[in-house]
Amino acid sequence: MTQQELTKEFLLDLAHKTNDYAMSKDIDASEVFFHKMRKLEIMAEGKSIANERDVDELGFGIRVLKNQTEGFSYTNKIELDSLTKCVDDAIGIAKIAPKKEGIRFPSTSKYSVIEGLYSNEIANLGTEEIVASVKLVLEPIKQASVDINLNLSNIRVDEDWQGIVNSLGIDAFEKSNSYSGVFFCAARDGDKIGSFVYETFFTRDPKTIDYSEFTDILIKKAVRNIDPIVPKSIDSNTVIFQEGAIFNPLMIVVGSSVSADNVQQNRSMWKDKLADTVAVDSLSIEDNPLNIQGGGNVRSFDDEGTPTSANSMIKDGILENFLFDELRASRVGAVSTGNCWRSFGGTRYVSPPSMIFPNAPSIKPGDMSTEELIEDVKEGIIFDRFSGSFQTENGIYSGVAKGAQLIKNGEITTPVTNVTIGGNVFETLMNIIGIGKDVQLVNGYLRTPLIKVKGVNIATQ
């Protein structure tokens, strides 16, 4: 099938025909989900373009319910015969599956329209245009006063089509695309070698990217981290988490803790904390998948077809809401919040709905500049990203502070390496002593300011 033949109308018509076939069988409900994903990526290594990756996938996932059992099957053969066979396979699985109490599908809903979710300009970008953009980053790197080499870097276009039809009247379709880049690099000045740093961008309007400014920031980060020292000790427990260090582990633990699945399975430390204080009163975290500034998972419906909406998770330090899908909501007489996921990225049609997580989380900014966050720190560190282990159930984390710099008497003094940090996310949230006023989008997903925390264990190796 050619790209020209793939249209919204064609795919929805095929989904309806498949749903009609499923409901002609002896079942209670059916769901037909399809997902089309395209990724066009130009990668760079060293100081040159490395290669191209172009992935284009489309498939259908079919779910049926019968007597409180669930059957699921999927196919990437886009023809009615293959889809009806997929239905039969799902029904066969449902016949032998164990009962899943409370399982249900959402019914007819009205969806919000999110302006700017799909850009024709991005859709028309090809290899030549993306290569030209990568070159705009490479040229200043080649001309830098020190030797800078890229690793695992790329600019890419992502496009997603998602549709879902079920026997209760859900009939939804949405497409989105984005343009993003991630550049890892390290600098070297003679015998002095720097640690790896990174810079990213994510946009739905390529014209907003200033490649000169972007590369200038990247180079300055790399130069700043040349010749890091291994400190004998750091007599402090004060840490400033830069934006890239907040997603992992802090946001992942928060997202897991507000999942109704983890709450009901007794895997959340917050299972009995609704309406209780779980963080300092300056911290507020919202999930708002209808805000176009929220990154790659902005969407009007989730992977079950339930409408998404803004949900306050933590407000002024108080735990306000858990996040639900249809199954977990039905078990406690609640309503789904539209936070069901099939998978985190990749080919979503190969999995039934199974996970609950924030769609587009955002941490409310504070009122402090970066300089103000630093100025009263007698000794501590500020770092770019965390590399280590963490446990979502108890919040314990331990790992290396990457791109770290030493703070002395209110000033950033020198890059440091082999510095580890450790603590407990739930305690960290109660030990926040400063929140930045500037917000950045991290990993195309989380909007967050800088956060300063006391009580973190800092050790040197």
End-to-end CA distance of the chain, in Å? 57
% of the chain at pLDDT higher than 70: 99
Q: Would the pLDDT of 6 be above 90?
A: no
Q: Would the pLDDT of 116 be above 60?
A: yes
369: left (phi over 0), alpha (psi -120 to 50) or beta: beta
User: How big is the CA angle at 167 (ends 84 and 164), to the nearest 5 degrees?
Assistant: 75
Residue 461 is predicted with a pLDDT of 75
Task: Using pLDDT thresholds of 50, 70 and 90, give the confidence band for residue 433.
Answer: very high
Query: What distances in angstroms separate CA 335 from CA 104, 111, 260, 332, 361, one per listed residue?
Result: 12, 16, 11, 9, 20
Residue 289 is predicted with a pLDDT of 98
Q: Would the pLDDT of 2 be above 70?
A: no
Average pLDDT of the chain, as a whole number: 96
- The tokens describing 119, both together, are 């850009």
Residue 109 is predicted with a pLDDT of 87
Task: Using pLDDT thresholds of 50, 70 and 90, give the confidence band for residue 345.
Answer: confident
The CA distance from 199 to 329, in Å, is 39
Q: Would the pLDDT of 4 be above 80?
A: no
Q: Give me the domains of the chain, ranges plus CATH numbers.
A: 3-222 (3.30.2290.10), 229-461 (no CATH)
Task: Using pLDDT thresholds of 50, 70 and 90, give the confidence band for residue 346.
Answer: confident
pLDDT tens digits for 42-99?
Answer: 999 999 999 999 999 999 999 999 999 999 999 999 999 999 999 999 999 999 999 9
The b/e string for 222-247 (b: 16+ C-beta within 10 A; e otherwise) is bbbbbbbeebeebebbbbbbbbbbbb
- Lowest average pLDDT, out of 6-15, 179-188, 342-351, goes to 342-351
pTM of the shown model: 0.95
pLDDT tens digits for 229-273?
Answer: 999 999 999 999 999 899 999 999 999 999 999 999 999 999 999
pLDDT tens digits for 253-264?
Answer: 999 999 999 999
Q: Tokens 């902005």 map to which residue?
A: 298
Residue 344 is predicted with a pLDDT of 84
* Count of CB atoms situated within 10 Å of the CB of 291: 15
Task: Using pLDDT thresholds of 50, 70 and 90, give the confidence band for residue 206.
Answer: very high
- Spatial contact of 151 and 196, defined as CB atoms under 8 Å apart: yes
The CA distance from 158 to 35, in Å, is 13
| Polymer length of the chain | 461
